[in-house]
A and B are shown apart, each in its own frame.
Chain A
Amino acid sequence: MFAHEFMRNALIAGSFVGLACGLVGYFVVLRAQVFAGDALSHVAFTGALGAAVLGLDTRTGLFVATITGGIILGLLGERARADDVVIGSLFAWTLGLGVLFLSIFTTKSSAGNGTAGVRVLFGSIFGLSGTDVRISVALAIVASILLLAIARPLLFASLDAAVAVAQGVPVAALGIGFLAIVGLVAAQASQAVGALLLLGLLAAPAGAAHRLTKNPFQGIALSAVFAVGSVWIGLTLSYEFPTLPPSSMIIAAAVGIFVLAFASVRLRWSWTRRGRPAF
């Protein structure tokens, strides 16, 4: 399995994508912003296709779109207490734009590019080149360092915003900065697992970690381990059974871990019968 270069590339890039998604995902779930992550994944789709239509580099479009999207969501959240409805309306329209770009792109370019939309939506982790891997590793490290740098105040702000404000923590700025990091990670992950599936890598490992422990730093570590683990399991499965697409297998592994975490907590609870599960 390790003899193939595409497989090595996929494993290296996938591990770092998983690491970044796991770390960021923990906070996304903690702050109940999974829906914002969902919206950003759709922004990624529109950004990549928009860049393709304009003849720009797809990767640039992806990053510009998701980071801008994250900042806009953050600003909306600060000003108007953006709720699901605002986010939903905004991203329905973003997707509509994406569809327009897709149709322009497929009618403009000749046959052979008909699957461009599919690639953006569902990823192409086995098609990564050496340069792609280096960029993706570098970005994952940048995102992880940025996140760990603000982890403590962000945790404080997420758990009790009012007290954090009183203590002089810049809660609003942290929220916007955090969503910008989520945007960065979303763009990076959508190259590996696709714009539509990155939500699974953000939500499922982190959800499992939240279910298993209440200690935040244990939880962050656990979430990262689960995310990297599901990338490995998914890639191995897809290598063994070539008809199964790698991105789907990664997500299936992540959701499998999530379900196991749920089941184990439920079992422990019914054995001890001491009351409801911790959360």
Chain B
Amino acid sequence: MAIVTRMRMLEAAIFQGLSWNPVTDVRALLSFPFMVNALEAGTIVAVMAGVTGWFMVLRRQTFAGHTLSVVAFTGAAAAGFAGVPVALGYFSVCGLGALALAAFGGSQRSLSVESAATGSLQALALALGFVFVSLYHGVLNGLDSLLFGTFLGITSRQVTVLLAVATLAILFIAAVGRPLFFASVDADVARAGGVPVALLGVSFLLVLGLSVAETSQITGALLVFALLVTPAATAHQLTARPALGIALSVTIAVVVTWLGLALAYFSIYPVGFYVTSLSFALYVFVRVGRALGDRRRRNVLVPEPA
């Protein structure tokens, strides 16, 4: 955490404010290696979150996604306690969490008990994470950045790891994209058509766990949703076509991340606030626009051409 404090001081010393000349501003933004790393990491994370988030919203697994993001916090706290690299903690514990969710989801048909199980798992993960943090007194300052993220102090090694994991996950989704879409839209027909629905469900949860683990390293465990749900939900509002929807979701996530990082650089407020507010504003804008469009269409008496 000392690194982060030092960087904050450095940033304050060199901070010159917005000049309103885009070229100068972008150059100022890119003049620090840590900022370049942050932008690279943010882009990788946003692409991955955009893709998996689109499927997560399609499969109505937002609660599972949020639980995994909470589990990510436990992983990081446990890694800090055990003295192993934080990324290892994120990835392994998220993987375990995904398997636990799949086990509960698979055995239960009842929605209410399944959601109770998910909620219990989430609370247990948080409770454990807090135990680790209290046992390891040193990271109490770091608790905020575990929960709410930091874009300072991302190393180029971290960027390489992020890139490798994201490539794997996106390749996997590209490979199973069609059957996964089929299984998500109509599980019964897909099963009858010979699609391994259960296996796909478990492996998707694992990929979701991976991308949550990635995203939490930038946005913090609590703000993963900003990149995972909101851009995907906006894309689902705009189009029902899978390819276009995924592209839109990725674009929104990437743009929101870039803007959020840039705004956080030029101000004193945290990046999580900007990313969540920007993506939520866009979501509300699209919803309101659609509602108005629907009303106008309903008021026109002439039927629409098919």
A residues contacting B by CB (< 8 A) are 29-32, 34-35, 37-38, 42, 83-93, 95-97, 99-100, 102-104, 107, 114-115, 117-118, 121-122, 196-197, 199-204, 206-207, 210-211, 243-245, 247-252, 254-255, 258, 262, 279
Contact = CB atoms under 8 A, between A and B. Distances in A.
Interface of B: 57, 60, 62-63, 65-66, 70, 109-113, 115-124, 126-128, 130-131, 134-135, 140-141, 143-144, 147-148, 222-223, 225-226, 229-230, 233, 236, 268-270, 272-277, 279-280, 283
A200 B280 contact: no
A158 B157 CA distance: 52
Contacts of A89: 225, 229-230, 233, 279-280, 283
A245 B131 contact: yes
B215 to A, nearest CB: 12
Chain B binding surface SS class: helix
Which residue among B110, B115, B127, B275 has the maximum number of chain A CB atoms within 10 Å of its CB?
A: B127
A65 B177 CA distance: 41
Nearest to A255: B124
A88 B225 contact: yes
5 contacts: A35-B119, A88-B230, A100-B273, A104-B269, A203-B123
Contacts of A93: 226, 230, 276-277, 279-280
Residue among A35, A37, A86, A95 with most chain B CB within 10 A: A95
Given A89-B280, A200-B120, A252-B127, A35 B115 contact: yes
A88 B63 CA distance: 8
B25 to A, nearest CB: 22
Nearest to A206: B116
Nearest to A25: B116
A22 B268 CA distance: 42
Given A37-B119, A85-B229, A97-B273, A248 B130 contact: yes
A207 B121 CA distance: 12
A255 B140 contact: no
Contacts of B135: 243
A32 B277 contact: no
Nearest to B111: A32
B283 to A, nearest CB: 5
A237 B202 CA distance: 36
B280 A248 contact: no
B116 A244 contact: no
Nearest to B65: A88
Contacts of A102: 144, 148, 270
Contacts of A243: 134-135
A207 B119 contact: yes
